[in-house]
Amino acid sequence: MPDESPSYELAWPPAHAMIESLRGVGYSVETAVADLVDNSIAASARTIRLDFHFDGPDSWMTLLDDGRGMGPEELRSAMTVGGRSPLETRSSGDLGRFGMGLKTASFSQCRCLTVATLPESGALSVRRWDLDYIARPDVNEWRLLTGPSAGSEARLAGLASSVSGTLVLWERLDRITAGLTHDRRSQDAFFAMVARVEQHLAMVFHRYLEGPGARLRIHVGGAARLRPWDPFLSAHPATEPTPVERIPAPGGAIQLQGFVLPHRDQLDDETWRRAAGRDGWVSQQGFYVYRNDRLLVAGGWLGLGEPRVWTREEPFKLARLAVSFSNSGDAAWEVDIRKSVARPPRAVRPRLTALADSVRTVARQVFAHRGAYGKRAPVSDLVPAWLSATGRRGVTYRVNRDHPVMSRVRENLGHHHESLEDLLRIVESTVPVQRIWLDAVEQGEVQSGAEPLDPDQIDAMERTAKALIDHLTSRVGLEPTLVRARLLATEPFQNHPEVIDRLLPPSTETP
């Protein structure tokens, strides 16, 4: 039985040492700003304005929201490190977790954190953590200051015209401005960081930012509202979604859906570039894990996979899946303090793995058979130009001898067709598979017959098609309608029906 009155000593952590330790939790500037946005959403904010002011080593940042604001005691609690236990029951819309996000996120980027807040029909309250002040040998206490830094009063002016809201001010941005001066290169580096923050917020809060009746508007630097980044191209007609599933799980049911995104040849350049995301198509494949519609994990396979753990690979770059749970599932999903890590409970891992395997399979088919998955419907009974076979020594590739062009050339060569076979064997034995694979990994795409043709390629395509049409009609004796149908089901002509239309117009088809 436990001792009801044990002897003890108080072991308060030194304020300076504790805060400096908290600075190393692992936030990036993007994840730190996202944590501030979480607090604004929890305060029912509809509009958030972020301003980054470049002044070399003295640069500073503000976040202003139009939420409900806080009274003095609520502000004091919000500024207390660990002011709320992660075990407390939270409202369904609360994006917090450990009661440390505002402080640890801010400490990770700045040495002076000021929060000013105004509740409706209330008075302005200001509290400040100054890490340099706390570090003084004559202080080294958890002294929460009750006003802004001298000379910083004007930086809180954004609240002056507000009915209610909260303003967060970061000053002495030592982690952000390390090595910066007042030159142009430093300014460019600073605003490149701002661009990364914008990309991150557009991704993490895209469900809040979407639609004409969006729940949230974010403005950065006075610009137009932030445009959401939808990882799934949900509105694109060529995206292939799976049905939405609801699965019982520890901590509450989860929602699960898979998406196979369109191939490159189905997207314009801007859509393709934007859909690649911040880290590129290969890195952005996999699971997107949401907690109360706030994105925690953007891509990756969550340690799943059979018979080995899946990794990010080029053939599966079009596969993305959405997993959503509520904040009641925090413990089961092992959400970390930065809200950037989540691990699926053991009970749901089999279903996640099964759906992901199915989505990956379809994504690989779209990637590999790009000609059959173009802007038109997949071609049934497609006559490929290349065939693959798996043997003891791996996969080999052969030119399809039954391709109509091959048949025409072989017939024209007559008894000299052995020379053609010699040439084909050389081609087949020297296919630069590794080089093609490296180019695809490094450059993202390798041109194929599905790509738009330049004028010289169009002329060559037409000459080849015309010769084949002449052969099939005059030598083989096929009707034009049948020739047209055969060419539209043969590589590479099926990708370029406009060429066939010029040589054999659709009017040649039987009604």
Note whether 400 and 360 are same-domain residues.
no
Taking the model in full, what pTM does it have? 0.75
**Which one-letter amino acid corresponds to residue 445?**
E
Note whether 197 and 295 are same-domain residues.
no
Question: 3-state DSSP call for residue 82?
Answer: coil
Q: Angle at which helices 404-413 and 417-429 pack, to 10 degrees? A: 140
Note whether 325 and 391 are same-domain residues.
no
DSSP state of 336: -
DSSP state of 278: T
Q: From first to last of the 511 residues of the chain, give the pLDDT tens digit.
A: 566 788 989 888 899 999 999 998 889 999 999 999 999 999 999 999 999 999 999 999 999 999 999 999 999 999 998 755 454 554 555 444 445 789 999 999 999 999 999 999 899 999 999 999 999 999 999 999 999 999 999 999 999 889 999 999 999 999 999 999 999 999 999 999 999 999 999 999 999 999 889 999 999 998 889 999 999 999 999 999 999 999 999 889 999 999 999 998 889 999 999 999 989 999 999 999 999 999 999 999 999 998 899 999 999 999 999 999 998 888 888 887 777 788 999 999 999 999 999 999 999 988 877 534 444 455 556 788 888 777 776 777 888 888 888 888 878 887 777 878 888 888 888 878 777 766 665 565 555 555 566 777 788 888 888 888 888 888 778 888 888 888 888 888 887 888 888 888 886 544 4
Note whether 164 and 276 are same-domain residues.
no
- Distance (Å, rounded) from C-alpha 330 to C-alpha 392? 48
- Distance (Å, rounded) from C-alpha 118 to C-alpha 123? 6
Note whether 332 and 459 are same-domain residues.
no
Question: 3-state DSSP call for residue 169?
Answer: strand
Are the C-beta atoms of residues 473 and 483 closer than 8 Å to each other?
Answer: yes
Asked, for residue 330, whether it belongs to a domain, the answer is yes
- Distance (Å, rounded) from C-alpha 320 to C-alpha 282? 11
Q: Which two tokens stand for residue 187?
A: 């300014």
Note whether 364 and 399 are same-domain residues.
no
| CA gyration radius, the chain | 31
Which residues are CB-contacts of 364 (< 8 A; sequence separation ≥ 6)?
A: 315, 316, 319
Which residues form the domain of 319?
240-372
**Which one-letter amino acid corresponds to residue 168?**
V
Last residue of a domain, one of 372, 400, 427: 372
Strand ranges (DSSP E) for 146-253?
Answer: 165-171, 217-220, 240-241, 245-247
Last residue of a domain, one of 319, 342, 372: 372
Asked, for residue 232, whether it belongs to a domain, the answer is no
Q: What is the pLDDT of residue 376?
A: 45
Asked, for residue 5, whether it belongs to a domain, the answer is no
- Distance (Å, rounded) from C-alpha 364 to C-alpha 19? 48
293 sits in the region (left: phi over 0; alpha: psi -120 to 50; else beta) called: left
Asked, for residue 283, whether it belongs to a domain, the answer is yes
Are the C-beta atoms of residues 29 and 175 closer than 8 Å to each other?
Answer: yes
- Distance (Å, rounded) from C-alpha 382 to C-alpha 491? 7
Asked, for residue 315, whether it belongs to a domain, the answer is yes
| Cα 439 from chain centre | 23
Note whether 213 and 122 are same-domain residues.
yes
Asked, for residue 208, whether it belongs to a domain, the answer is yes
Pairing of strands 47-53, 217-220: parallel
Q: What is the pLDDT of residue 426?
A: 83
Q: Residue 477: count other Cβ atoms within 10 Å of its Cβ.
A: 8
Note whether 166 and 265 are same-domain residues.
no
CA distances from 213 to 46, 207, 209, 210, 217 (A): 11, 11, 9, 8, 10
Note whether 393 and 368 are same-domain residues.
no
- Distance (Å, rounded) from C-alpha 289 to C-alpha 343? 9
Strand ranges (DSSP E) for 38-135?
Answer: 47-53, 60-65, 112-118, 125-130
- Distance (Å, rounded) from C-alpha 303 to C-alpha 214? 34
Note whether 39 and 130 are same-domain residues.
yes
Asked, for residue 3, whether it belongs to a domain, the answer is no
Last residue of a domain, one of 372, 398, 427: 372
Q: How many degrees, rounded to 5, is the angle at CA 118 between CA 144 and CA 67?
A: 110
Which residues are CB-contacts of 420 (< 8 A; sequence separation ≥ 6)?
A: 409, 410, 413
Q: What is the pLDDT of residue 415?
A: 74
Note whether 490 and 468 are same-domain residues.
yes
Asked, for residue 103, whether it belongs to a domain, the answer is yes
Strand ranges (DSSP E) for 173-285?
Answer: 217-220, 240-241, 245-247, 254-260
- Distance (Å, rounded) from C-alpha 18 to C-alpha 231? 38
Q: What is the pLDDT of residue 218?
A: 97
- Residue for token digits 């025409």? 408
**Total of domains in the chain:** 3
Helical residues (DSSP H) of 205-325, grouped into ranges: 206-209, 269-275
Task: From 200, 184, 195, select the one nearest 223 (Cα to Cα).
Answer: 195
- Distance (Å, rounded) from C-alpha 37 to C-alpha 409? 66
Note whether 348 and 391 are same-domain residues.
no
